[in-house]
Structure 1
Amino acid sequence: MEKLTNRDDVVRIFLDDVRALHRSAEERGITYRKSRTNLQLTHAAPIPNGKLQVDLLEYLTWFYTDGDDLKHQARMQPIQLILSETEGGWKIERVNRIGEREERNLVKGELNFRPSSIVEGNRKRSYDRRKAQQYAELWWDGFNPQYKKFDVDCTNYISQCLYAGGMPMEFSNRKDRGWWYRNQGGTVSWSHSWAVAHALRWYLESSGRATAVGDAKLLTIGDVICYDWDGDGRWQHNTIVVAFDRNGMPLVNAHTVASQHRFWDYKDSYAWTERTQYRLFHIQDTF
C-alpha cells in the first residue's frame, strides 16, 4: 500500500500517473480522445485518535484512437483517505493507494511445484479461450460470489479465468502443490498457486500446462503474463490476454487495480520500473 502523507505527495503521484499514461500512448502511437472519472464511497468509519477512515473506488475510463479504431481502457483504483478533524472541518492527513506492487511479500523464494496425484476429471480437456475471455470481461470490475474475495486479488482472478476456460484443477492436500480451490461446507481453502502471483508463475512453468514464449505477439486470447516489477525474482502480478491492438500486441485484464483492455507492458503503472521482467505464457490447448 502506497502512503502519501501531504498534498504535494498526492499531487506528485497523480501527475506521475498522467505522465506515464501519456508516455505509453506516445510509444504505442495512440491518441487519447476523452476520459471519464467517477468516485464511489465504499466505506467510512471512525478509527483511533479521533480520525476517520474513508474508502473510495475511483473509476477511470479512457477512449482513444488506435489507427482507424476507437477503443477504450478502464480501471478501478482503490483509494483510502485518513482524515483528521480541525477547527475548520476535516483535513486529509494521508492517502493510501492499493496498487499492483502489493503481492511482493506474500510468498518468499521460489516455490518448486510438483504435479499432484489427483487431477480433476479423467479425460482430456480443451482450453476454451473464448470462455476464458468472456469470464475475464464479465468479472474484471467485480467479484464472483462463488469465490473468496481477496484484498490482493490479481492471481485469484486469473485462476478463475483459467478454470472458466477449462483448465482442470490439480488437487493436493498441500497448499504448495498443485493448483486448486475448495469450498467444503463453507470452509474455503486454496493452493498458493491459485492466489499468489509468484506461485502461479512457477506453477505454469513447471506443470506442463503452459509454454513460455519470447515475444508478446506470440500470445493469444486466454494466455497469461507474469510481472516482476523490480527484476529481483519476486513475481508480483499476473494478467490475462483478452484483446489486441492494431499491431497485434496484447491488451489485458487484471484485478487488484482492476483493469480492462490495458496495454500488456504496464509502462503506464507506477509499479513499473526499468528493471521490470515479464514471463509470457501460452496456455496449452489441451490438458
Structure 2
Amino acid sequence: MKKKLVKILHDNVKQLNEAFLNGHRAVCLDEKEKAAFEKDALEMIERGAEVVSAKISGDILNVMAYEQQTQVDYIAVIDRLLKQGNSLFMEERTMRRRAQFEGSKLVADEMVTMHPLSLQERGEKCMGHIYREDSATYNRRNVVRYAEQWWNDYNPAFVRFEDNCTNFVSQCLYAGGAQMTSKANKQRGWWYENEHKMSLSWSVAHSFRWYLSGATSHLRGEEKKSARELIPGDVICYDFNGNGTWNHCAIVVAKDMNNEPLVNAQTVNSRYRYWTYQNSPAYTDRIQYKFFHISI
C-alpha cells in the first residue's frame, strides 16, 4: 500500500513541477497555491523572463496512517533556471509539504510552516559561527555571502524558529558588520545573546520593521519609495494582508536585468526569489511593502 501511495504522490509532484515550469495548475493544490502559479506565470511575462527548466527533488520525512487516512510529510526542493535577456540565473526554494490520502486517493497536498531539516539533522557537517568584521562601514559583500551560505540551512550558533525569516535577516545584517544595541530590554534595540535572550526586533518581523523605521544609531534603515532603489544588502518587509501587521522580511542579494531586487529568505527557504512574492500562497492584492536601505 505504501508503495502505491508513494507512486501517486510522485505523479502529483511531477505535475507540481510542470506548474513551476509552465504556470499550469497542478492537480491537488489549494486555491491559493493554484492562484500563485498563475500570478507567477503572468509576472514572468511582465519581467520579460522565462523558465528554461524546472526540477523538483526531495525526500519523504514521515508517514502516519489511521484506518483509511494517511498523512505523508515530505520535503520538496525546487530549482528553476530562469532566462531574462542574455542573463541566466537559478531560483531555488525548499518547502516542507503535507499530502493527505483517503484510501489510495490523494485529496490534498499543501505547504506547511515547519522548517526543513538542517544539515546537522541530515547527518552532514555544519560549522556554527559568523565571520564578521567590526567596521564603521557596512560590508554588503559579507551580507550577501552569509545569505548565500545559509539560505537553505540554519546556523547552529543561533536559535531556530519555525517562522525564521527575521532571525535569518538579522544574522545577515550582523555578518555585514551591523552593531548590536544595549541588551538591557527585549522591547528595545536590536540584539541577540542566546536562544532565551534577544530583542523582539531580532526575530519578529513586525518589531523589526518598526525598529528599522525608528533607529537613529547602530543599525538603521532609510525608507525608499521603490524596490529599484535598493541594492544588495538592503531589506524588504512585507505585510501580506495589508492590515498593519508586518509578517515577513527578506534580504536583497542581487538585481535582475530590469534593476529589480532578487531576495534570499527563510521560512519557505528561497534563493534569488523575485521580490514581489506574487508566487507565494500568502500573497494578497492588499499586500504592503517597506523598502529599507541599510546603514550602520
Pairwise TM-score range, normalised by the shorter structure: 0.7 to 0.9
Cα separation, partners in 2 of 1:152 and 1:260, compared to 1, 3 Å: same
1:28 equivalent in alignment to 2:47:
yes
Cα separation, partners in 2 of 1:153 and 1:50, compared to 1, 3 Å: farther
Q: CA deviation at 1:93?
A: 5.8
Cα separation, partners in 2 of 1:49 and 1:170, compared to 1, 3 Å: farther
Q: CA deviation at 1:8?
A: 6.9
1:56 equivalent in alignment to 2:81:
no
Checking the alignment, whether the CA contact within 8 Å between 2:33 and 2:280 is kept in structure 1 is: no
User: When you count helix as a share of all residues, which structure comes out higher?
Assistant: 2
Give the equivalent residue in structure 1 for 2:210: 202
- Alignment map for 1:242-253 (pairs within 5 Å): 242-253=253-264
Checking the alignment, whether the CA contact within 8 Å between 2:29 and 2:109 is kept in structure 1 is: yes
User: Please, which of 90, 115, 124 is the counterpart of residue 72 of structure 1?
Assistant: 90
Aligned identity (percent) is 36
1:137 equivalent in alignment to 2:159:
no
Q: CA deviation at 1:132?
A: 0.3
Checking the alignment, whether the CA contact within 8 Å between 1:98 and 1:256 is kept in structure 2 is: no
Q: CA deviation at 1:57?
A: 1.5
Q: CA deviation at 1:18?
A: 2.3
Q: CA deviation at 1:269?
A: 1.6
Checking the alignment, whether the CA contact within 8 Å between 2:169 and 2:251 is kept in structure 1 is: yes
Distance in 2 of aligned mates of 1:218 and 1:264? 13
1:10 equivalent in alignment to 2:21:
no
User: When you count strand as a share of all residues, which structure comes out higher?
Assistant: 1
What is the number of residues matched between the two proteins? 249
1:203-250, Cα deviation, whole Å (9 max, x unpaired): 111113110011212111100000111211110110100001112111
Distance in 2 of aligned mates of 1:200 and 1:170? 13
Q: Give 5+ residue unaligned stretches, structure 2.
A: 1-25, 115-133
Distance in 2 of aligned mates of 1:20 and 1:279? 21
1:143-187, Cα deviation, whole Å (9 max, x unpaired): 11111111011111001100111101113332211111112xxx6
Checking the alignment, whether the CA contact within 8 Å between 1:181 and 1:188 is kept in structure 2 is: no
Larger RCO, structure (CA 8 Å, separation 6 or more): 1
- TM-score w.r.t. length of structure 2: 0.76
Checking the alignment, whether the CA contact within 8 Å between 2:222 and 2:293 is kept in structure 1 is: yes
Distance in 1 of aligned mates of 2:158 and 2:185? 19
Q: Give 5+ residue unaligned stretches, structure 1.
A: 1-6, 101-122
- TM-score w.r.t. length of structure 1: 0.79
Q: CA deviation at 1:39?
A: 2.1
Secondary structure, in 3 states, of the residue corresponding to 2:249? strand
